[in-house]
């Protein structure tokens, strides 16, 4: 049911980021092309947290990087605050990127092990020559205080001396150094212990409120997404299945894939019977996706129509859009 369409775009002036028909392809062999993201559209309104969920390999990370033009997408447009980033010359893009910053999945690999915390956070400030030495030091201290680290204790240490959670705090401080308007978090908590996950999520929420950030939050963990997002996009094999606010999505999923995802969330109650209807098989290869609806090979409700025609996103309830020929009632 994963399909295309732009019905869910809100076309308001408040949209910080609008992505239309974004396609990212990788050439893996001479005539083999992987379509990691194919014809995807979405928008993010100022102050909103958009969550993107989907299983591993469905193109979430590729999508996030394509928004930052790292690497640039093969086609489609990425309009950030009125400017199409795909059309910007290299030098302008360099400065445009600073208003969008990214938090990565692996907190340790996102910090250079040879640099001290001071150097790490100073780096973005230094590139853009923000302020004098003293002003920058002041700023670094403020940032570290903001993310809950004691500057005097951490400034001269290197990333390997910290735990994953602390590294992620440092990453957040570094990302905030340039006063971005948007933060793209690529699975920011999936590499952390559960107890630390909550701390980092709270921290991100705090930072968002304090600095008026707009966030794109990528995750495969539905419980995490529920806690932070205003709107959720469910992705499957590089396409959108469903777009909905979390309350609707979690109680009344309209897409078969969304329901399967929700069913796969473990329930901490040993007396409860395991629920049936778990998905069978592996997702098909993005090199050779199924015709029509991409989810039909694993969908219980698939019919001949699903193989012939690609479903378009349509509104089934206020704010809830689904790309499926046979949406769940």
Partner 1 sequence: MFFSLFGWLLPLKPWAFVFEDDLGVGLFSVGHLFGTDSNGYDLLSSVVAGTRMSIFIAIAAVGLGGFIGSVLGIFSAYLRGKVDTVMVTVFNVGLSVPNLVLALALVSVLATNLDINQAVPTWRRVMVLVMSLTIVLIPILGRIARGATLSWTSREFVTAARSMGMKDSKIILRHIVPNVLPALIAVAFLAVGVVIIAEASLSILGVGIPDGASWGGMIARGRNDLEYAPHVLYVPIVFLALTVISTNHLGDVVRSKLDSREAKV
Residues of this chain that interact with partner 1 (CB under 8 A) are: 65, 68, 70, 94-95, 97-98, 100-102, 104-106, 108-114, 123-124, 127-128, 158-161, 171, 174-175, 178
Q: Which has the closest alpha carbon to 265: 219, 317, 217?
A: 219
Closest approach of partner 1 to the CB of residue 124, in Å: 4
Q: Which is nearer to partner 1, 159 or 197 (CB)?
A: 159
Cβ 186 to partner 1 shortest distance, Å: 9
Omega within 30 of 0 (cis) for the link into 71:
yes
* Angle between the N-to-C axes of helices 164-176 and 133-146, in degrees from 0 to 180, rounded to the nearest 10: 130
Comparing CB distances to partner 1, the nearer of 160 and 211 is 160
CB nearer to partner 1: pick between 42 and 104 = 104
State the pairing for strand pair 314-317/320-322. antiparallel
Q: Is 211 helix (H, G, I), strand (E, B) or coil?
A: helix
Least distance (Å) between residue 326 CB and partner 1 = 40
**Nearest CA-CA partner of 6 in 23, 18, 24:** 18
Choose between 98 and 312: whose C-beta lies nearer to partner 1. 98
Cβ at position 110, least distance to partner 1 in Å:
4
The CA distances from residue 127 to 70, 159, 179, 296, 308, in Å, are 18, 20, 14, 49, 52
Q: Which is nearer to partner 1, 64 or 249 (CB)?
A: 64
Q: How far is the CB of 228 from partner 1 (least distance, A)?
A: 21
Comparing CA positions, the residue from 73, 91, 67, 71 lying closest to residue 17 is: 67
**Shortest CB 103 distance to partner 1, Å:** 9
Q: Which is nearer to partner 1, 67 or 306 (CB)?
A: 67
Minimum CB separation from partner 1 for residue 97, in Å?
A: 5
In 47-169, beta strands by DSSP E = 49-53, 75-80, 83-84, 100-103
Element (H, E) at 186: strand 182-186
Is there a contact between 14 and 44 (Cβ–Cβ < 8 Å)? no
State in angstroms the smallest separation of the CB of 247 from partner 1. Answer: 32
State whether residue 14 is helix, strand or coil.
coil
| DSSP letter (8 states) at residue 4 | B
Whether the Cβ atoms of residue 69 and residue 85 lie closer than 8 Å to each other: yes
For partner 1, the closer of residues 102 and 279 by Cβ is 102
- The residue among 98 and 230 lying less far from partner 1, judged by its C-beta, is 98
**Distance (Å, rounded) from C-alpha 161 to C-alpha 205?**
26
């Amino acid at each position: 049911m994963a399909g295309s369409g732009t019905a869910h775009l809100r076309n308001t002036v408040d949209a910080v980021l609008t992505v239309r028909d974004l396609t990212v392809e990788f050439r893996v062999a001479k005539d083999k092309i992987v379509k990691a993201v194919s014809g995807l559209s979405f928008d993010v309104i100022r102050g909103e947290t958009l969550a993107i969920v989907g299983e591993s390999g469905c193109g979430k990370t590729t999508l996030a990087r394509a928004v930052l033009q790292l690497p640039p997408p093969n086609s489609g447009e990425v309009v950030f605050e009125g400017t199409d980033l795909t059309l910007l010359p290299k030098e302008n893009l360099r400065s445009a990127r600073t208003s969008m910053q990214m938090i990565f999945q692996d907190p340790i690999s996102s910090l250079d092990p040879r640099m001290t915390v001071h150097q790490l956070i100073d780096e973005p400030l230094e590139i853009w020559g923000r302020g004098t030495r003293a002003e920058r030091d002041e700023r670094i201290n403020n940032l570290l205080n903001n993310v809950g680290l004691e500057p005097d204790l951490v400034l001269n240490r290197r990333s390997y001396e910290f735990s994953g959670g602390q590294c992620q705090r440092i990453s957040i401080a570094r990302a905030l150094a340039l006063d971005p308007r948007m933060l793209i978090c690529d699975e920011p908590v999936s590499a952390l212990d559960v107890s630390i996950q909550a701390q980092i999520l709270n921290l991100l929420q705090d930072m968002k409120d304090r600095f008026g950030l707009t966030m794109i939050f990528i995750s495969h963990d539905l419980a995490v997404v529920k806690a932070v997002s205003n709107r959720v996009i469910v992705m499957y094999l590089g396409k959108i299945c469903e777009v909905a606010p979390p309350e609707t999505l979690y109680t009344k999923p309209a897409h078969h894939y969304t329901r399967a995802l929700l069913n796969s969330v473990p329930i901490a109650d040993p007396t409860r019977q395991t629920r049936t209807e778990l998905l069978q098989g592996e997702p098909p290869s993005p090199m050779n996706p199924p015709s029509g609806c991409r989810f039909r090979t694993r969908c219980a409700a698939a019919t001949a129509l699903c193989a012939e025609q690609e479903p378009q996103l349509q509104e089934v309830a206020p704010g809830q859009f689904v790309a499926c020929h046979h949406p769940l009632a």
